[in-house]
Structures are given as C-alpha cells and as structure tokens.
Amino acid sequence: MSTPSGLDLAGTIGGANASSQKGLIHLVGNGLSFDKALLFMYGPFLSNAFYTPKTNAINITFGAIFLLGLDRSKCSEETVLAKLGFVLGHEVTHGFDKQGVHFDKTGNINVDGIISTEDMKNFSDLNIKAEAIYQDQEVLPGLAQDPEITITEDVADTGGLAFMEELGKEKTDFDWKLFYHEIASGLGSKITRNLFVTGQLNNVHPFGRVRCNVLLTNSPLFQDTFNFKEGDGMYQSKDSQIEIW
C-alpha cells in the first residue's frame, strides 16, 4: 500500500512520528512543561497514559479514562480493574522500575537509587530474572524484542497486574477468569511482519502475544485460576516466576 506522498504505510507512520517529535520540541521550547506538552500533543480524546520521573507524575488523558472504564454502569468490577486499574498500577510501578528507582519524589536523580544498598542489589537481581523470562519470546516467528530495551515496561506490567490482583482478592465473588480475559484483550494485538520490524521491534513496550502471555504466565494466581499443568501452552513453574513489587 502506498500513499500520495509515495511512502508505504510504515514510512508514513515513521514520518508522522518524526513530525510529532518536532511538535513536542516546539511546545517545550515555548515554555510548556514536558508533561503538559505531551498531553497537548495527544489531545484529551486520544487514549494514552504515561509516567514522567522528573515530575514524579502519572498523566492520563480523558480519552483513556473514558475508554478504560469511566462509565461504571456498563463495566463490571473485573473490567474496571483489568483496564483502568491495570493502567494506573502500571504507571505507578514506573516510579519504581529500573529508571524510576533512581529518581526521588521531587524528580532529582540519585545514581545510587532511592532504596537501600541491599534492596538495590536484590532489585537488580530480580530485574535480571525478569529479563530472562522475556528473553527470546517471539512476537512473530523468528522475531523477538530485546528485553534489555523492554525491561521497564515489563516490570511496570507485572506491578500493574500484582496491584489489581491484590484488589481483586478483596472482592467477594470476583470472576478471575473474566478479569484475566479482560487483561488479555487489553494487551494482545496483531501486526504484520513489516510493520513490526519497522515500527515496533525496538519499542520499549513488549508487543502483542509476548506482552500478554509472558505477563500472565508469570502470575501464580493466573496459573491457579485456569489450573494449568506442565505441558500446557501457558504453564510456567512457580520456581521460575518472579515477583518484584
């Protein structure tokens, strides 16, 4: 597929990304804070959420809140936790991922980390284990992202899921199967090989089946909910699962 400019779809998306980066630089250069400039660029009705360590702030657009479960009359408790709750838990965890752990609450950098030396050592070891479970996981046959690039998003996902599982445990008659189906429908997606290689291979977010399946198989509660056994496609032994936050 090509466009009037002669670019194919991947080229057009790349051009649009470059253009939005220029717009962002322009807004920040004219005095808008980075957070506000990003929110301005996305616009209130686009769905997005992000954490900025320099301001220790979670930013979430109205579009994301609306899409992820503002209308409680149409959403089950499970859906709200799996969609909106998961995103909020993910963004909070960014404050304590490999990058966030070096920023204090006022946004100042602490090269040694904001937790004790012993905790930093344990934290570092757990991040290495987290990278290992994402290592060589293929989004498409023969195509795997580098977990050294995706590690902060991987860890934010495990934190977001753990947060919501704790809240789910406090509910009576919580439908865990529905909850995990809603998590999966929010994270899973499909893509062509060309678009993945040109636009997503080096993205900091793990993509599609990897983002969804690695996260869920790592959860003991997910394993128990579906009663997976050794040999099942989504089985993961408890001794290879990691819990950071």
Instruction: Please report, as ranges, the residues that interact with Zn ion according to CB under 5 A.
Output: 153, 156
* Shortest reach from residue 206's CB to Zn ion, in Å: 10
* Shortest reach from residue 92's CB to Zn ion, in Å: 10
* Shortest reach from residue 90's CB to Zn ion, in Å: 5
Q: Which is nearer to Zn ion, 58 or 144 (CB)?
A: 58
Provide the Cα torsion 70, 76, 81, 86; round to 10°. Answer: -70
What DSSP string runs through 169-233? HTSTT--HHHHHHHHHHHH-----HHHIIIIITT-SS--HHHHHHHHHHT-HHHHHHHT--TTST
Q: Which is nearer to Zn ion, 77 or 88 (CB)?
A: 88
* Nearest one of 15, 240, 60 to 133, comparing CA atoms: 240
Q: For residues 31 and 171, what is the distance between their CA atoms, to the nearest angstrom?
A: 46
Cβ-proximal residue to Zn ion, closest one: 156
Give the number of C-alpha atoms closer than 13 A to the C-alpha of residue 193, restricted to the C-beta side. Answer: 5
Q: For residues 16 and 10, what is the distance between their CA atoms, to the nearest angstrom?
A: 10
* Shortest reach from residue 94's CB to Zn ion, in Å: 5
Residue 139 structure tokens: 């989004």
Q: Which is nearer to Zn ion, 157 or 165 (CB)?
A: 157
Q: Which is nearer to Zn ion, 77 or 153 (CB)?
A: 153
* Shortest reach from residue 180's CB to Zn ion, in Å: 20
